[in-house]
Structure formats: structure tokens, C-alpha cells
Structure 1
Amino acid sequence: MEVNYGVISQYSNFLKACGVKGILLNDQIGEGMSLTLQERKALTEEWSQCCEKNGQFLIVQIGGIPLKEVIELANHCETNKVGAVILLPDLYNRPRNHLDLVKYIKLVAEGTKEIPILYHHHPKYTNLDLDMTNFLLDITGEVDSFVGLIHSTNDLQSALSSFHVNEKQFTVFMGTDEVILGAAASGFSCIMANTLNIFAKLVETICFSTTKGEILTAQKTQAVLAKALYRIYSYGDTVPALKAAMCIISKLPLGTTREPLEAIWEGNVEKMKNELHEMGLV
């Protein structure tokens, strides 16, 4: 499966119409680990232009590859005026503890100029479950360009602990769909969940209703979101299933996943479409 650069502008416009103000590029859902270095650069250049046109803040995930290439991508992002970069850890030489992670981020920061750096805490994907509260405490004052993290776990208590370390210095994004309601009720204002790719209005309703004290509406909307995700993910692994749903909802030719990820069978895509239609989401 080749990258379809021609559809990027349309998809950026679709997300803007849905109210999405920020784009996370080349992370897990974007199949960043399946892309070559040149493809990641080309996507960054295309999205940078689209985001500038649509007033969307662009964050690019640059990790998961050799350190020299991570730094190369960081400098490329600076050249293309990307708003910030996100790091996944080295997926082979994983940090042994949170202090190793601090050292790793420090190496990346020393190889760049001033671009803001965040870390993506995603244990289910990286098989690396470090204490993010201690990590934030120990990176404080060590890396001036480090500004926060995406917390992609269902552990709301752990996320909250990270959130409260230093709210003025660090931005902590909630990155898990299942706990958006709890996160919003707990004070999170930054959400970076998978469903923003397709159900941004549902996420917006959960957050808005919660801040307005309309808890019943927020609960019902979270239940709809959970039901939709259950049906989508019943057809396959997270990335292929969500990409199929993205094609259904956006009505854009976004294509399928790249091997070795197994794309959703066409017949099941049609079944998924019918189920989402029955829910009133298509």
C-alpha cells in the first residue's frame, strides 16, 4: 500500500469541518512505524502546508527509529515549522527506567534547536510502562524544550498524577477514548484520542457537556462512543479497523493499512458501515 499524498488536503479539510484543531502525524494510528524516513518527511511537508492553510496545530511523532534519524526528523520538522514533535521510545533499545528516558529525550533535544518535545506514554503499544509522575518530576529543569506528554492508558489515576505535577510547565493530553468523560470531569482540557479521527463531534459533546455540568448528556455520549468503538474493533486490530471506519465516515479514499498489518476484509467493512449507519453515525 503506497502513501496517497493526494488525499491529505481533503482529509485535513474534513477534520477542520469536524472541529479538530490539532493533527498528530506518524504515530500509531498513522502507521508511522511502517513508513520509510523519506515517506515520513514527505508526509510532514504535505501536512505542514495543509495545517497552515486550515489553522491547525501540527505535531509530528518522530520516534521509534535510530537516534540519529530521530534527530534528523526533528530538524526536518523545525525546517517545516511544525508546532511540536512527539517521541515514542526506542522500540528496540528500550529505556530500563524513567531516568533512561530522561537521558534519551535530552539527547534528542541537544540535537535540535528549540522545537517543543513531548513524549507518548503508550504502554500497550510500546511494552514500556514507566512511572510518568516520577519522569516529569525528574525531567523538570533538565530539558528546556520538553513540554509534556500524551497519556494513553485507561489508568485515570496515573494520568491525573502526571497532570498535576506542574500544570504551568507541562501539558498532559488524555490519549484514551474510554476515559474521556472521566478525564474531562477531572480537569483535562487537552484530548488526543483515536476517535477524533472520525467522531470528533462526539468527543466535543462529552467535553463540553461535562464542563457545563450536563453530566447525563456526557454519559450518554460516552456510551455511544464506547458502543461504536466496540463494533469497529470487533472486526479486527485497532489500526486496520479504525482506518476502515475512517474511510466510511469521511467518505474519502484513505486506503487500507500497509502490510504486515492485515486490512479488514471488504465484506466486513460493509457490515461495519451498516452497523454504524444503524447507530446514526454515518
Structure 2
Amino acid sequence: MAPSVDKMLTGLIAATFTPFTREGEINLVEIGPYIDYLTEKQGVRNIFVNGTTGESMSLSVTERKILAEEWCQKAKGKMDQVIVHVGCMSLKDAQELTRHAAQIRADAIAVIAPSFFKPSNADVLKSFLKEVASVAPSLPFYYYHLPAITGVNVPAKDVLDGIEKLIPSFRGVKFSGSDLMDFGRCVSDSPPHWSVLYGVDEQLLAALAMGGHGAVGSTYNYVGCHVNKLISAFENGDLVQARTIQFKIQELLSYAMKLGFDLGVNKQLMSELSGLCLGPPRLPVMPCPPDHAQSIAWKYHSIFPEC
């Protein structure tokens, strides 16, 4: 997995959960089986680690380094690309994680906007991203756009304007917002070597119609095999089949949201469906109520009786 600015990132990327022990410590033992599950059962060959789904902001810098190295080592020869999220509230911490990602030969890095002291506009945010990227200038770089969580309501298009002059290694955006106009403008103005990836799983088909190159999401850990069929149907011009699969995913997530579909529930659902022991989330995220994940898993099997 040597760094390369030439590998186009497309298709499905699973945003991985961080395995914990029952005592709340990182659990590296599960990472190898996790990767095998994604590749063999879900047909997913790209991962986005230490992101929101991976509880990155609840992890120490040391823990994030240990996890990133384990993901990269275990994915070698099995995954196409491992993207390591290195965003932090501290510029120095983000730079430290970026240097480490280059050392462990991650395929790319991604950075979310800092959300405590928030950048006031696109230029400030680009300056922050430039400083992070500068310590590993050959490592492909992605901006992680998640305004609902960060509270940084700067259009992604404004961030992307002129960014490659500041960050020559810039290769795209993980767009986890619901503003499809902003998303479309990112797609329409992106050069051909960029990847514009969508991160709202229940609206993927709309993003594909807008020209999105792929998708990053937590549900692709366990519905990846079905979403691969959705993408294939779309690419083959079978919109009826693509819509059918998208509507099923919406039915599942709508059911889950009525039960309170937060990260703790999502993580436990992954454990239920995959058989992996991912452990509880870390506070302040609360563990899943015992019956919620089982109820959503039952709904999953009723909608998707087989992969």
C-alpha cells in the first residue's frame, strides 16, 4: 500500500468502527477478522479508519497511531486502499498523525474541520488543511466535510476552490452533508484526478446521479454487498433496480432512526450482523440498549434475506 497520488478512489469505502474490549480499551485482535469480513462477505475493498464512525475524537493520539498501523498492516494484500483520518482539534496533533500515516504507508489521509475553535471561513479552513498536509506532501489528501457535526457551515465548494495550489497532493472530498447542490458543484468543478465521495448512505443514488465517484459510510460495513449491487445497477442503466435497493436501505434506516440510531446502536448492530466482537462505544457515547440492535437486525434480515 505505498502512497500514490495516481490511484483513483472509487466505489464503496467502509467507515470502520473501532473495536474495544469490554473494559473500553482498543482491541486489535478483531481487526484482521474485520477486514476479512468486509472483503469476503461484503465485497468492500476500501476502508476509512479513525473517522467519526471510529470514534476518533474519543481516542488519544497514541491509540490512533496504534490503530492506524494495525489497519494498514492487516489490510496489506487484501484491501485496495486504506484512508486514515488524521483530523484533530490541535494542528500539532493532526501533523503528528499525518507524519505517522506516511511512515506506515497509508494510501491516503483525510482531515475534518476543527470544531471547537472553528475556522471562520473557507480561507482559514484551507490554511489549516495546508499546514496538516505540508508535513507529508506526497500523501494523497482528502477534505472531510461534515458540517452537521463540526458546525463549520462553509460550503465544500468554497473549500475546494484553488485548494490544489495550496495542497498539490489534494485528491478529493468526503462529502458527508445533505446539500446536493453543493455536492453537485464540487463534482462539476473537480478535475478528473479528484474523487468526490458521498457520505450520506440513505441518499447515495442521488449522489451517483450527480456524478459522485464513490461513497464512504458506516452502513457499508454490513450492507456493502447490497450497495455494490445498487452501484452496478446504476452503472448499467437499470434505475428501477438501483431505486429498489436504495428504498430498501431507506426502509432499514428509517426503522433504525425511530429507535434512536446513534453510533452506539450502529456499532452494536454491526456486531450482531457480522459476529465480530466490537465492544461498547466510549463515553460520552452510550452503549446500545440490549433489544434495539437485535430489533434492527431482525428488520435487516426481513428486508435483505440474503446478500
Q: Flag whether TM exceeds 0.5 (same fold).
A: yes
Instruction: Measure the CA separation in 1 of the matches of 2:195 and 2:255.
Output: 32
Write the deviation string for residues 172-222 of structure 1: whole angstroms up to 9, x where unpaired: 111111221112223222111222111001211211111111111111100
Displacement after TM superposition at 1:281 (Å): 4.9
Match of residue 5 from structure 1: 28
Relative to structure 1, is the Cα distance of residues 109 and 273 closer, same or farther in structure 2, using a 3 angstrom cutoff? closer
Contact 1:175–1:193 (CA under 8 A) maintained in structure 2: yes
Query: Counterpart of 1:134 in 2: which secondary structure?
Result: helix
Displacement after TM superposition at 1:246 (Å): 0.7
Superposition CA RMSD, Å: 1.5
Displacement after TM superposition at 1:112 (Å): 2.5
The amino acid of 2:144's aligned partner reads H
Give the TM-score taking structure 2 as reference length.
0.87
Question: Which protein has the bigger helix share?
Answer: 1
Contact 1:240–1:264 (CA under 8 A) maintained in structure 2: yes
The amino acid of 2:33's aligned partner reads Q
Instruction: Measure the CA separation in 2 of the matches of 1:113 and 1:154.
Output: 31
Q: Is residue 161 from structure 1 mapped to residue 185 from structure 2 by the alignment?
A: yes
Identify which of 267, 270, 275 aligns with 1:251.
275
Q: Is residue 111 from structure 1 mapped to residue 132 from structure 2 by the alignment?
A: no
Query: Counterpart of 1:60 in 2: which secondary structure?
Result: strand
Instruction: Measure the CA separation in 2 of the matches of 1:220 and 1:89.
Output: 35
Displacement after TM superposition at 1:162 (Å): 0.5
Match of residue 272 from structure 1: 296
Displacement after TM superposition at 1:58 (Å): 0.4
Instruction: Measure the CA separation in 1 of the matches of 2:277 and 2:200.
Output: 26
Instruction: Measure the CA separation in 2 of the matches of 1:97 and 1:192.
Output: 25
Match of residue 217 from structure 1: 241
Larger mean CA deviation between 270-279 and 67-76 belongs to: 270-279
Give the TM-score taking structure 1 as reference length.
0.95
Q: Greater relative contact order (Cα 8 A, min sep 6): structure 1 or 2?
A: 2
Contact 2:174–2:198 (CA under 8 A) maintained in structure 1: yes
Contact 2:175–2:197 (CA under 8 A) maintained in structure 1: yes
Displacement after TM superposition at 1:93 (Å): 1.7
Contact 1:233–1:242 (CA under 8 A) maintained in structure 2: no
Instruction: Measure the CA separation in 2 of the matches of 1:237 and 1:267.
Output: 13
Structure 2: any 5+ residue segments left out of the alignment? 1-23
User: Counterparts of 1:202-213 in structure 2 under 5 Å?
Assistant: 202-213=226-237
Instruction: Measure the CA separation in 2 of the matches of 1:153 and 1:279.
Output: 26
Contact 2:187–2:210 (CA under 8 A) maintained in structure 1: no
Contact 2:48–2:85 (CA under 8 A) maintained in structure 1: yes
Instruction: Measure the CA separation in 1 of the matches of 2:298 and 2:74.
Output: 32
Displacement after TM superposition at 1:111 (Å): 2.4
Identify which of 24, 38, 42 aligns with 1:15.
38
Instruction: Measure the CA separation in 2 of the matches of 1:76 and 1:185.
Output: 37
